[in-house]
Amino acid sequence: LFRLILFLGMSSIVAPSILSADFGNLSNDISMLNTSKADWIHIDVMDGHFVPNISFGMPVIDFINSLSKKPLDINLMISKPERYIENFLKYNTKVLTVHLEASKHLHRTIQHIKSNGVMAGVAINPHTDVNNLSEIITDLDLVCLMSVNPGFGGQKFIENSLNKVKKLKKMILSKNSKCKIQVDGGVNILNAGQLVKNGTDVLVAGNFIFKSDTPKENINSLKKI
Ligand code: DX5
């Protein structure tokens, strides 16, 4: 009975992606998130080198951090992320994620993040096989499967991502890892059910939340899955 109650009480972690927010009224969007059921605020830092877009840097994140009542889930979409780990650990950071494709000494970077008591994540691009994570999966707290090519919000979900969730879930179970699976890109109410059913723990959504007239309801709808 206890297990059943635990199971019924479980819901997905929802992390709205601030990239799709209104940067002219950022404080409004952050207040909306503060009073919503969102769990984390997802923050994509882009450098115009690892991805073909530049998003924002420290002054904007300082501001988000000062207003947010929710912890930050920061994804460094930048080359050589090890150069900036310290800068992003000083916030109310729940998860700090680096890209597999951008890191030469991934194991060292992961240990650096974890030694500060922050969850360590690794993101992989749509073309990257999840098997590339097999030697590090037991060290990770989170894997972010990019379900669009990183760089822009509002893109179409790549259907093969669901197969990657299944494959990754198998790997996590077989290695007895506690790593969470996050899916980022084109997530909405139409694909979230299948994603969660197959093992996704964290749903990142940008446009589905911020480009809607009912952002809080949309967060709730993802939470209820
Ligand atoms: C893409 C970003 C995503 C994006 C998600 O580079 O990593 O986080 O903001 O936004 P949607 O949900 O609109 O694809």
pLDDT per residue, tens digit, the chain (225 aa), is 555 554 555 789 999 999 999 999 999 999 999 999 999 999 999 999 999 999 999 999 999 999 999 999 999 999 999 999 999 999 999 999 999 999 999 999 999 999 999 999 999 999 999 999 999 999 999 999 999 999 999 999 999 999 999 999 999 999 999 999 999 999 999 999 999 999 999 999 999 999 999 999 999 999 999
The minimum-distance atom of ligand 1 relative to the CA of 19 is 9
Task: Tell me how crowded residue 131 is: count the other CB atoms within 10 A of its CB.
Answer: 11
Q: Which residues pair with 202 in a beta bridge?
A: 13, 182
Q: Which of 17, 43, 47 to mutate to test the pocket of ligand 1 (most atoms within 8 A of CB)?
A: 17
Coil, strand or helix: which one is 45? strand
The dihedral formed by the CA atoms of 210, 215, 218 and 224, expressed in degrees to the nearest 10: 120
Distance CA 200, CA 191 (A): 11
Interval between CA 21 and ligand 1 midpoint (Å): 11
**AA letter at 123:** A
The residues carrying an active-site annotation are 44, 184
CA distances from 142 to 126, 137, 188, 214 (A): 16, 9, 21, 29
Nearest to 33 by CA among 45, 18, 13: 18
Which atom of ligand 1 is found nearest the CA of 149? 6
pLDDT at 10: 75
Distance between CA atoms of residues 87 and 153, nearest Å: 24
216 class by beta-carbon count within 10 Å (0-12 exposed, 13-18 middle, 19+ buried): middle
Residue recorded with tokens 């500060």: 116
Q: What end-to-end distance do the CA atoms of the chain give, in Å?
A: 21
**Ligand 1, CB within 6 Å, residue ranges:** 17, 19-20, 42, 44, 148, 150-155, 184-187, 204-208
Ligand 1 atom index nearest CA of 185: 14
Query: What is the distance in A from the centroid of ligand 1 to the CA of 83?
Result: 24
Nearest CA to ligand 1 atom 9: 153
Q: Report the separation in Å between the CA atom of 5 and the middle of ligand 1, taken as the mean of its atom positions.
A: 33
Q: What is the C-alpha to C-alpha distance for residues 225 and 58, in angstroms, rounded to an integer?
A: 34
- Name the residue among 200, 138, 146 with its Cα closest to residue 169: 200
CA of 211 to the centre of ligand 1 (A): 12
Cα-based distances in Å from 75 to 20, 55, 85, 194: 15, 12, 11, 24
